[in-house]
Amino acid sequence: RRASSAVSSMQGGPDASGGPHTGTTIVAVAYDGGVVLGADSRVSTGAYVSNRASNKITNLCDNVFLCRSGSAAHTEAISDYVRFYTSQHVSETQQQPSVKSVASILYQMSYSNKGLMAAMIVAGYDPASGGKVFGSPIGGTLVEMPWAIEGSGSTYIWSYFDDEYKEGLSREETEELVLRGIAHAMARDGSSGGLIRLVTVDKDGATKRTVQGKDVPLILGDMPEPGTNAATVVW
């Protein structure tokens, strides 16, 4: 296998088996007072699941986080650079950066390196602007929006978010929206799965939550987890 193929397929990149380029589902939704980020945990190499419990939500600073899809190597490299430049910015200004400032650093890194396989979402909270979400698809464009989804699983849930998102959602409603949206994608997309990680960022900081596979909401068509009985126990 060529080196470029091996690198890009770490997180659902293309290889001989025809796997998707961005095999994952990442979501971020802003609400009044903060933002909720979510991601599945499956990392695939073509049709092979290489990691079922990966963390695709990376902190760039205390108040801004990054959802990653595409090549694991590329997105991790970008996040490391953005975290470094953001820390320099904080050292110089001695204050918490705005979400837009951090997103702009990511935009410069991504747009200047168009060959990278990286579809990302930057989201966070700052006192001046509140909860903010910026989508950065492959190619380096940066777009501010109330909610953003990326990855192969996003194909299955565009209409879900179009229909279910409304202005004025509470924190609890937003967390439920993100959770159920990712669950829908996991039920349809073979490159999304595992558990669901949620990060909520508001004026009090970041709150992390992990939803184990057995606790992920069942979607129409899903098979429930089989129960244990005498016939299935191996003695």
Residues marked as catalytic: 24
Locate 57 and state its tokens: 């939500």
Helix, coil or strand: residue 19: coil
- DSSP tag of 96: P
Closest by alpha carbon to 23, among 68, 66, 76?
A: 68
Locate 7 and state its tokens: 């690198």
- DSSP tag of 38: E
Tell me which amino acid residue 206 is.
A
CA distance linking residue 207 with residue 201, whole number of Å: 6
In the block, tokens 């903010």 appear at 132
Closest by alpha carbon to 118, among 7, 210, 200?
A: 7
Is residue 55 classed exposed, middle or buried when 0-12, 13-18 and 19+ CB atoms within 10 A define those classes?
Answer: middle
CA distance linking residue 8 with residue 4, whole number of Å: 6
CA distance linking residue 60 with residue 67, whole number of Å: 10
